[in-house]
Amino acid sequence: MSLPNKKGWLAILFTFFCLAIPFGLTYYVSTPLSKARFKEWRVRATAAHTKEKSQISAKQLLLIKNDRVKIKNTCLVFKGIEKDQVVLDLYLLELDPGYAYPQRFSRKTNGNAIRLGDVTYAVKSANNSSLTLKILQATGTY
């Protein structure tokens, strides 16, 4: 029996690789490492699609763009940043809960206090998607 010619070897190698790739992928998918990576990928993909919500703590307030947050007798809605100015809507619930009072202040207040309703804040950080305010003074409870 004679050995295959050059074209015959190419056909054998081509067939071998065409069969090896699906078997290799099937083996890899069945390993625990692959399952762990897939689970991690699913968690990251799910976390990326969940919308972050505004949060209130005892010392700071995180406002997400267009998310309405009630604190004391006011509601705050962060609208974004325009020309290095923080833009937000202030709703005074005791006066007129349906009317928004637009507020603008510099995102770089250098520690200066900003009073919105009964609460005094300082800007901790600001970007176009979120605003973090440090609560300096508030009367009563949230």
- Taking only the tens place, the pLDDT of each residue in 48-59 is 555 567 778 778
The C-alpha atoms of residue 118 and residue 95 are separated, in whole angstroms, by: 13
Looking at residue 97, the DSSP 8-state letter turns out to be T
Collapse the DSSP code of 139 into the 3-class scheme (helix H, G, I; strand E, B; otherwise coil) and give the result. coil
Looking at residue 59, the DSSP 8-state letter turns out to be S
The mean pLDDT value of the chain amounts to 83
- The pLDDT tens digits for 88-133 are 999 998 888 889 999 998 888 776 888 888 888 888 888 888 888 8
- Sheet with strand 130-138: strands edge to edge: 55-56, 60-64, 130-138, 119-126, 114-116
Pick the residue with more confidence: 57 or 31?
A: 31
